[in-house]
């Protein structure tokens, strides 16, 4: 509770009689954190009086608040003048003249009236005792005056030096990709040290085992991205791997007599589709989720049959009709399974009626679509990536999954020097000002190591993890903040394109399946009967 002048009750005084309130009584005291175990300054105490460091306090979701910038519930990095919270991503440090180096730079501290920029914060300008450069340095008891670059080198060497006193040559690319802050705060450093010293093999299996622990999961996945980005580990589709694990869990929980058919259906029907998409370089997150949902529904159908004292091979049309009456939303998925089972002589052939709800029903108006398009192309307050993603959905009916996986190789030029973008079999000539926005991608990374690990960034929409594209759900979330609902916007764009453009042209330019393009032609009511099915 604060007084009228903003003061707080004094609960403790130090030896020099300095007053401390209840929030600051533990600040400055070093103690082992009750969660991470590291000896750091106490930021807060748990209800059982266990000390908590500032890192663990920030990781506690109970302390997070909805950010006033992006709307996500995240740790509070700062507050605006009206006390609205800002997350670390949305907060921008104010620019001022640093009292230490004299440069105009983002400010990290104003403690005691001294303005300190981010380059001088937690350090002082001095001459390094190793490289002899005059830069920001730290003074350490065992290393003396050392700059951050030399300190990073020393810290990495300590982590990766084996029992024989040497460092394996495979770690050379990684030594220039790490950051001093990550080495001191990430719990995945312990996993890196195990692999560096030879205690554990350098493999995805080691990382998988460490990622099974909750406190290591996020850090280990970031470390995996680093190792893949510098080619120490081969690239792997984590969505496909997790799908196989989740399907195995579903099979293990099923009735013993149903496990074989579920295993065969997953192995020969569900997993191959996701694997083909992975080999083609497509995003497999949504496909993996769909395959898991499909097997879960099939397992539920088989469990329903068991509860009615019948197995799959002995089921009748009456059982199928009775199940469909109580599970109207699962009929399409189970019908696909029953057809596969009948073709493989696992069950008699049954008819399962599926309601025709395949036609899209979510649309926006043409006025809304064009108003959002003009805003996306002209509003400089949006990020370039948001403007391009919005234009690709509103104009070319692209999905967030396709947008997220666009690469530099998809860009090109035609005979007249105009920019082209390949979304399907044939490239599209991009009109201005969208062509200028595309040439500005990818945007520089604002934070993290993703910008430094891979110098030649392949993705036009890179993610926060090095070497990975942005997650499609992130694209959808950011567009919704601008008032764009991707499904409605894409359906409206497809409806107009199907009305004005022949079906084969839509399929070739937008990367649609020909059957999908034909369905949209039927929805739009367009007639292109005289247009040849194959163009010369």
The three-state DSSP-derived secondary structure of 56-83 is HHHHCHHHCEECCCCCCEECCCEECCCC
294 and 214 in one domain? no
Backbone angles phi, psi at 281, to 5 degrees: 80, 15
Higher pLDDT, 218 or 510: 510
414 and 336 in one domain? no
The enclosing domain of 489 has a CATH number of 1.10.443.10
In a domain, 88, yes or no: no
Q: Which of 160, 194, 229 is the last residue of a domain?
A: 229
pLDDT at 180: 67
255 and 216 in one domain? no
108 and 26 in one domain? no
Q: What single string gives the DSSP state of each residue in 88-149?
A: TTT--PPEEE-TTT--EEEEEE-GGG--EETTTTTSEEEE-TTT--EEEEEEETTTEEEEHH
In a domain, 393, yes or no: yes
Alpha-carbon distance of 441 to 439, in angstroms, equals 5
380 and 254 in one domain? no
Reported confidence tier of residue 455, pLDDT bands at 50, 70, 90: very low
476 and 412 in one domain? yes
104 and 140 in one domain? no
Q: Residues 6 or more apart from 426 whose CB is under 8 A from it?
A: 508, 509
Q: Considering just the CA atoms, what is the radius of gyration of the chain in Å?
A: 29
Alpha-carbon distance of 517 to 508, in angstroms, equals 10
Nearest CA among 264, 472, 285, 506 for reference residue 385: 472
pLDDT at 18: 55
pTM over the 0.75 mark: no
In a domain, 69, yes or no: no
Residue 169 structural domain: 128-229
In a domain, 510, yes or no: yes
Number of domains present in the structure of the chain = 5
263 and 291 in one domain? yes
254 and 117 in one domain? no
Strands 65-66 and 51-52: unpaired
Nearest CA among 349, 337, 338 for reference residue 293: 337
pLDDT at 11: 40
Average pLDDT over residues 209-226: 78
Q: Are 249 and 297 in contact (CB under 8 A)?
A: no
Q: Look up residue 267 and give its DSSP letter.
A: I
Alpha-carbon distance of 421 to 427, in angstroms, equals 5
Is the predicted pLDDT of residue 28 greater than 70, yes or no? no
Backbone angles phi, psi at 219, to 5 degrees: -65, -35
Average pLDDT over residues 475-486: 92
pLDDT at 10: 47
501 and 411 in one domain? yes
Percent of the chain with pLDDT over 90: 24
Which helix (H) or strand (E) segment holds residue 31: the answer is strand 30-32
Q: Which of 312, 343, 374 is the last residue of a domain?
A: 343
Reported confidence tier of residue 112, pLDDT bands at 50, 70, 90: low
Higher pLDDT, 164 or 317: 317
Q: What is the pLDDT of residues 326-383, one digit of tens each?
A: 887 778 889 999 999 999 999 888 887 776 555 677 888 889 999 999 999 999 889 9
Q: Which of 164, 197, 229 is the last residue of a domain?
A: 229
Q: At what angle do helices 366-378 and 486-500 cross, to 10 degrees?
A: 110
114 and 170 in one domain? no
In a domain, 207, yes or no: yes
In a domain, 446, yes or no: yes
In a domain, 531, yes or no: no
441 and 335 in one domain? no
Alpha-carbon distance of 221 to 188, in angstroms, equals 9
Q: What is the pLDDT of residues 140-197, one digit of tens each?
A: 777 888 887 888 888 888 888 888 888 888 888 777 677 666 777 788 888 888 898 8
In a domain, 76, yes or no: no
């Amino acid at each position: 509770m604060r007084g009228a002048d903003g003061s707080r009750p004094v609960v403790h005084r130090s030896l020099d009689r300095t007053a401390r309130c209840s929030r600051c009584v533990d600040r400055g005291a070093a103690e082992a954190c009750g969660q991470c175990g590291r000896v750091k300054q106490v930021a807060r105490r748990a209800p059982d009086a266990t000390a908590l460091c500032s890192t663990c306090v920030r990781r506690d979701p109970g302390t997070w608040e909805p950010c006033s910038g992006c709307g996500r519930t995240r740790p509070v990095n700062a507050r605006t003048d009206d006390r609205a919270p800002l997350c670390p991503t949305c907060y921008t440090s104010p620019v001022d003249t640093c009292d230490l180096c004299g440069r105009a730079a983002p400010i990290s501290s104003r403690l005691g009236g001294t303005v300190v920029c981010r380059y001088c914060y937690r350090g002082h300008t001095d001459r390094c005792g190793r490289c002899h450069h005059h830069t920001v340095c730290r003074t350490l008891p065992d290393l003396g005056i050392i700059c951050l670059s030399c300190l990073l080198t020393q810290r990495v060497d300590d982590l990766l030096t084996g029992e024989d006193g040497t460092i394996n040559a495979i770690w050379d690319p990684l030594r220039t990709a790490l950051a001093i802050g990550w080495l001191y705060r990430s719990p995945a450093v312990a996993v890196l040290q195990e692999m560096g010293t030879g205690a554990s093999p350098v493999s995805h299996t080691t990382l998988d085992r460490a990622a099974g622990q909750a406190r290591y999961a996020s850090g280990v996945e970031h470390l995996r991205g680093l190792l893949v980005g510098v080619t120490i580990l081969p690239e792997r589709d984590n969505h496909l791997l997790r799908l196989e694990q989740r399907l195995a869990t579903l099979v293990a929980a099923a009735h013993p007599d149903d496990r074989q058919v579920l295993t065969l259906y997953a192995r020969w029907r569900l997993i191959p589709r996701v694997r083909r998409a992975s080999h083609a370089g497509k995003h497999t997150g949504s496909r993996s989720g769909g395959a898991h949902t499909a097997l879960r529904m099939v397992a539920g159908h088989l469990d329903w049959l068991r509860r009615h004292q019948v197995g799959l091979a002995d089921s009748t049309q009456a059982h199928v009709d009775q199940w469909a009456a109580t599970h109207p939303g699962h009929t399409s998925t189970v019908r696909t399974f029953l057809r596969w089972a009948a073709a493989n002589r696992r069950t008699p052939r049954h008819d399962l009626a599926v309601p025709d709800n395949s036609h899209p029903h979510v649309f926006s108006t043409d006025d809304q679509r064009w108003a959002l398009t003009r805003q996306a192309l002209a509003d400089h307050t949006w990020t370039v990536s948001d403007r391009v993603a919005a234009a690709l959905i509103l104009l070319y009916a692209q999905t967030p999954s396709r947008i997220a996986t666009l690469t530099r190789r998809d860009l090109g030029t035609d005979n007249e020097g105009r920019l082209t973008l390949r979304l399907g079999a044939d490239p599209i000539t991009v009109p201005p000002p969208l062509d200028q926005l595309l040439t500005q991608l990818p945007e520089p990374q604002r934070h993290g190591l993703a910008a430094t690990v891979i110098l030649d960034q392949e993705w036009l929409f890179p993610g926060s993890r090095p070497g990975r594209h942005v997650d499609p759900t992130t694209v959808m979330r950011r567009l919704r903040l601008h008032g764009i609902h991707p499904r409605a916007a894409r359906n409206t764009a497809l409806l107009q394109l199907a009305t004005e453009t022949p079906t084969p042209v839509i399929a070739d330019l937008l990367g649609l399946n020909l059957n999908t393009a034909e369905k949209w032609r039927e929805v739009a009511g367009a007639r292109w009967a005289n247009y040849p099915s194959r163009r010369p």
